[in-house]
Structures are given as C-alpha cells and as structure tokens.
Chains A and B, each alone.
Chain A
Amino acid sequence: EAGVAQSPRYKIIEKRQSVAFWCNPISGHATLYWYQQILGQGPKLLIQFQNNGVVDDSQLPKDRFSAERLKGVDSTLKIQPAKLEDSAVYLCASSSTKQGYEQYFGPGTRLTVT
C-alpha cells in the first residue's frame, strides 16, 4: 500500500514570497490533515478535511495560509506572503475510520524562509 506522498521535500524562499505544498493521501482515506512542526516542537494541526469539507481550521493563520482539497483526494497548502516564523516542516497525514483512528504521515516538506 502506498503511503502519503508530499512534494516538494525541501523549499527555500525569501520572506514575502509565496509557496505551495502538495499532498496525496493514502487511497481511500477520507480525512486529511496538515500539520506545522517547528524545530524542537511537536506537530500542530493547521487544518483538517473530511472528504473535501473543512472540519477544523481553528489554528490556521487565515490571513496568509490557505488550503484546499477540491476533489476530496489531493490537497494543497499555500502560504502568501511567507514570514520568517513560517520556517518549519509541513506534514500531511491521512486517516480512515476503517483503520482504527491512526493517522499516517507523509515525509513532510521542510520550508526555510530567509
């Protein structure tokens, strides 16, 4: 079974630029999550989708971050404009109620904002 795919793996941009990350969840997983993991901290949920609807985006900085999952499969997370404090690893995860509540994580995208 293929895992969660993310791209790119690494990205370096200057502050005020924009960036987008892509995630392809495990086939059949209805729930998709985006997390931000700042160095030395645990992952923090940014947004959760159930199919193509948003379940929780309470910690998403909506003035600069946006995310979509138009067809209920792939998802993109965008930052515009980026700030220095956005430097982090962005993790995508997916889950299925048939697989006992575990979230399966992708390898992440490491973003450096200079």
Chain B
Amino acid sequence: AQSVAQPEDQVNVAEGNPLTVKCTYSVSGNPYLFWYVQYPNRGLQFLLKYITGDNLVKGSYGFEAEFNKSQTSFHLKKPSALVSDSALYFCAVRKAAGNKLTFGGGTRVLVKP
C-alpha cells in the first residue's frame, strides 16, 4: 500500500521569509511525487512533480521541491513567501507503473504580511 504523511496541519510564516511544507511517503518501487495547491472553493492546482532525474524540481509560482530517496521525503519550498501563497497544500504519490494517486492530509499555509 502507498501512503503520504504531511506532519504539519498548519504552517505560519511571515511574508518574505522562506516557506517549507513537509511531506514523507511510502510506496513500493520508484515513486512519482506531486504537489498540488487548493485555494478556497477551488479545485486542486498542479504545482510540480518528480518523476526521475534531478532531485530538485522547480514548479509554478516560484515553488520548488527536493526529492530525498533515503529519507523518503519530498518537501515543498519557496525562498520568499507571499501573502497570496496562503492556501492548502497537498502532497501526493503514485507508483511509477501504476495509476492510483494517494494524497496526504494537507497542510494549511498562512503567510502573514
């Protein structure tokens, strides 16, 4: 079975400070990893993915994530947070050869001015 853990229900950060949202996963074989963001009353929007290759992947809106195989982690980062980054963030995993996407419970990010 595959699973995703997002250990923090909420992350508070001041505008302009670095933002990190943590994610660890469990899956057999090589993982495909994703980050999605959800704004109020909106569907999930794709931010970035790791399939293979460079462990540091860059995505939309200045976000990046680092894949760490030994720690089975895929933390989301942004060097300088904006108030508009306040939203709900979801990490997800699927098997390389499979289709089913399993989501974590989500982390609410609050960026204060």
Contacts and interface: CB of A to CB of B under 8 A. Distances in A.
Given A48-B99, A56-B100, A41 B43 contact: no
B99 A55 contact: yes
A45 B32 CA distance: 17
A41 B101 contact: no
A45 B43 contact: no
Interface stretch (A11-19, A70-78, A80-88, A102-110): A102-110
Given A41-B106, A42-B106, A101-B51, A106 B43 contact: yes
Nearest to A4: B43
Contacts of B44: 43, 91, 93, 105
Size category of the binding interface on chain A: 20 to 34
Interface residues on B, range: 20 to 34
Nearest to B92: A42
B43 A103 contact: no
B63 to A, nearest CB: 14
Contacts of A4: 43
Contacts of A64: none
Contacts of B101: 33, 45, 103
B7 to A, nearest CB: 14
23 contacts: A33-B101, A40-B105, A40-B106, A41-B105, A42-B104, A43-B90, A44-B103, A45-B101, A48-B100, A55-B99, A56-B100, A93-B43, A93-B44, A101-B32, A101-B49, A101-B51, A101-B94, A102-B49, A103-B101, A104-B46, A105-B44, A107-B41, A108-B43
Interface of A: 4, 31, 33, 40-45, 48, 55-56, 91, 93, 100-108, 110
Given A40-B105, A42-B104, A108-B43, 11 more contacts: A41-B105, A42-B106, A43-B44, A45-B101, A48-B99, A100-B49, A100-B51, A101-B51, A105-B36, A105-B43, A105-B44
